[in-house]
Chains A and B, each alone.
Chain A
Amino acid sequence: MSRRIGVLRPDRPLPVIAEAEARVIEQELERRLGDVTVDLRVDGESIGRWLPVANAAWPTDVDLVISTAALWGDDVPPLTAAFGRTVEPAAATVRRRMLRHLDLMPEPPFALDAPLLDALVDRRVRPTDLWLVAEAASSIDVDVPAVRALVEPEGAARIDRAFDDAVGDLAPPTDDTLARLVAERDAARSQAREQASEVARTRAELADRLDALEAENDVLRERLDRAALQRALDE
């Protein structure tokens, strides 16, 4: 049965995040609860022309309302990051299409590609793929042991573990990475400073040289003028 869940979030940091967040929340809830739709409201917005959302009742078919206000704050990572392990919904849609294209979705007429299915199940663990296959298999009777195993509690636990393991890959950069990037930035700044001072030094040297040449030019011109004058007097 489809569940409808209301989610109320504060109006910061950006409304555009609300949309992405809604998709992620919906995907995460669907992964755990089955068929779910999310009714997302942002605190501060209005329903219709005059009615602030805070004063509006939720529709009667909303089963549960969640407020995410406590999940926002300067010291709290964004909710989307908290759900970083969740598959990006757009990616899941594409992935579902590709699994179907590769004959890996357990759907009629069940012409599953056995070698690729073995690779999917036994090689590198791909939580998104496994979850999508298990999700498709859960609603129908599939007589393929490898697929059936994904629907069993042990298989489901394996997929959950795979999602948990994947968190590290999607987490913010590690201290090592940050340290390396900071070092690279500092080195680049230092190099830029050295180059800038080198340029300034060269510029100053050129200016001095130009001044000296101009002075020498003046002296020579004066000598030339005197010589020309002397020559005229002699004649």
Chain B
Amino acid sequence: MTTFTRSPAPLARIEPADSPDVSVVIVAYGTGRVIVETIASLSTAATDLTIEVIVVDNPHPAVPGRSAMELSLSTAGVQVVAPGRNLGFGGGCEAGALVARADVLAFVNPDVLVPDGWLEPLVAALDTPGVAIAVPVLVDPDDAVQEAGQRVLADGATVPIRHAPDHVTTVDYASGACWVVTARMHERLGGFDPLYHPAYFEDVDLALRARSMGLRCVVEPAVRVVHLGGQGTPDRIRPASAQRDILLQRWPDLRWRQPPT
């Protein structure tokens, strides 16, 4: 079921666009108030591009309907997709992408705060031939670098790069907390794989798939996005060893990678 939020006194309002430039897709899973802050930052961040915001509200068994309630009370113009069951992170992203109208997709976590001018450099980075995915530098609220992309090691572990580069840089992969891709490219890559349901490592898999097709994931250091981290869901972050095993089965050549020096 898809609806638009219409709070009579919204804290965040997404202006309707007939033909948006970018579709921002947010997957919620029992997410609380922080999602309103995310949408507020999306609605106020200066940009010349028009956006639509789609929230896929995966129902959390402990707090069903929480995100939808927060959104309906405090936002207007947000398209909410309620799948009725937990599609997971990848499935939620894909459900959002299906209803998206723009040529560019921005997958954004519900605990991410974007600054002014965040979209243009990321969208521009996609113009470079061979670039499939563009991501910003993720920072803590105190602006400390959380990750500027990540390395994928031989055992499937991922290691965040803590130093922001001074120019657009290719990385093994970057967290799906905030990444931008054209809709065509996303389809060409095949999108997120539900093998990793409910979450974790589907972004690694997609970035590796892009690389196997000769395409790249790049970090745009001109954009620094605050990732509050761990606030997108009431659940604790788990090690996701099962997902890592799947990754290693899918990408056996990872084992041949040398450890970083």
A contacts, CB < 8 Å to B: 87-88, 90-95, 97-98, 100-102, 113, 115-116, 119-120, 123-124, 126-129, 166, 169-170, 172-173, 177, 180-181
Q: Give chain B residues whose Cβ lies under 8 Å from the Cβ of A127.
A: 187
Q: Which residues of A contact B193 (CB under 8 A)?
A: 94, 97-98
Judge whether B2 is part of the interface by a CB distance below 8 angstroms. Answer: yes
Please tell me if the beta carbons of B190 and A102 are within 8 angstroms of each other in the complex: no
Question: Which residues of the partner chain A approach B184 to less than 8 Å between Cβ atoms?
Answer: 166, 169-170
**Contact at A98–B192, with CB atoms within 8 Å?**
yes
CB-CB under 8 A for A98 and B188, given A91-B209, A119-B99, A177-B127: no
Find out whether the CB atom of A97 lies under 8 angstroms from the CB atom of B194: yes
Knowing A101-B91, A102-B91 are in contact, say whether A115-B190 is a contact too (CB < 8 A): no
B window 174-203: CB within 8 A of A = 182-185, 187-195, 197
Q: Tell me whether A124 and B183 are in contact (CB under 8 A).
A: yes
Q: Is the CB of B188 within 8 A of A119?
A: no
The reply to whether A91 and B194 form a contact with Cβ atoms under 8 Å apart is no
Q: How large is the interface on B (under 10, 10 to 19, 20 to 34, 35 or more residues)?
A: 20 to 34
**Complex CA–CA separation, A102 to B90 (angstroms):** 10
Quick one: closest A residue to B127, CB to CB? Answer: A177
Known A98-B94, A102-B95, A181-B128; contact A88-B188, beta-carbon cutoff 8 A: yes
B194 CB contacts on chain A under 8 angstroms: 97-98, 100-101
User: Which residues of chain A have C-beta atoms less than 8 A from B197's C-beta?
Assistant: 101
Residue contacts A-B, CB under 8 angstroms, 5 given: A94-B193, A95-B190, A101-B94, A115-B1, A170-B188
Contact in complex: A88, B99 (CB < 8 Å): no
Asked whether B261 is an interface residue with its Cβ less than 8 Å from the other chain, the reply is no
A27 smallest CB distance to B (angstroms): 12
Q: Mark B111-129, 1 if CB is under 8 A from A, else 0.
A: 0000000000000000111
Question: Contact partner of B188 among A87, A93, A124, CB < 8 A?
Answer: A87
Q: Is the CB of B188 within 8 A of A172?
A: no
- A114: nearest chain-B partner, CB-CB: B1
Tell whether B83 is near chain A: CB-to-CB under 8 Å.
Answer: yes
- What is the CB-to-nearest-CB distance from B70 to chain A, in angstroms, rounded to a whole number? 22
Contact partner of A91 among B91, B98, B182, B190, CB < 8 A? B190
Query: In this complex, what residue of B is CB-closest to A101?
Result: B194
Q: Which residues of B contact A123 (CB under 8 A)?
A: 98-101
B213: Cβ under 8 A from any A Cβ: yes
> For B164, what are the chain A residues with a Cβ–Cβ distance below 8 Å?
none
Does B225 count as interface, using CB distance less than 8 angstroms? no
Which residues of chain A are within 8 angstroms of B51 by Cβ–Cβ distance? none
Question: Which residues of A sit under 8 angstroms from B87, Cβ to Cβ?
Answer: 101-102
Q: B2 and A126: CB pair below 8 A?
A: no
Partner of B100, one of A124, A129, A181: A124
Q: Give Cα distance in the complex from A100 to B2, angstroms.
A: 20
> CA–CA, A169 to B212, complex, Å?
19
Residue ID in chain B nearest A166 by CB atoms: B184
CA distance A215 to B162 in the complex (A): 49
* B83 in contact with A113 (CB, 8 Å): yes
Contacts A87-B190, A94-B193, A94-B209 supplied; 19 other A-B pairs, CB < 8 Å: A88-B188, A90-B209, A94-B190, A95-B187, A95-B190, A95-B191, A97-B194, A98-B193, A98-B194, A100-B194, A101-B194, A115-B2, A116-B95, A116-B98, A120-B98, A124-B100, A129-B187, A170-B184, A173-B129
A169 neighbours in B (Cβ, 8 Å):
182, 184-185, 188
Contacts of A97 in B (CB 8 A): 193-195
Q: How far is the CB of B98 from chain A (nearest CB, A)?
A: 5
Q: Are B90 and A172 in touch, CB under 8 angstroms?
A: no
Chain A residues with CB under 8 A of B100: 123-124
Given the complex of chains A and B, what is the CA–CA distance between A123 and B127 in angstroms? 24
Q: Is the CB of A91 within 8 A of B188?
A: yes
In angstroms, how far is the closest chain B Cβ from the Cβ of A121? 10
Partner of B190, one of A93, A101, A113, A166: A93
In the complex the two chains form, what is the Cα distance from A178 to B182 in whole Å? 19
Residues of chain A with a CB closer than 8 A to B191's CB: 91, 94-95, 98
Chain B, residues 126-142, CB within 8 Å of chain A (1/0): the string is 01110000000000000
Docked complex Cα distance between A55 and B188 (Å) = 39
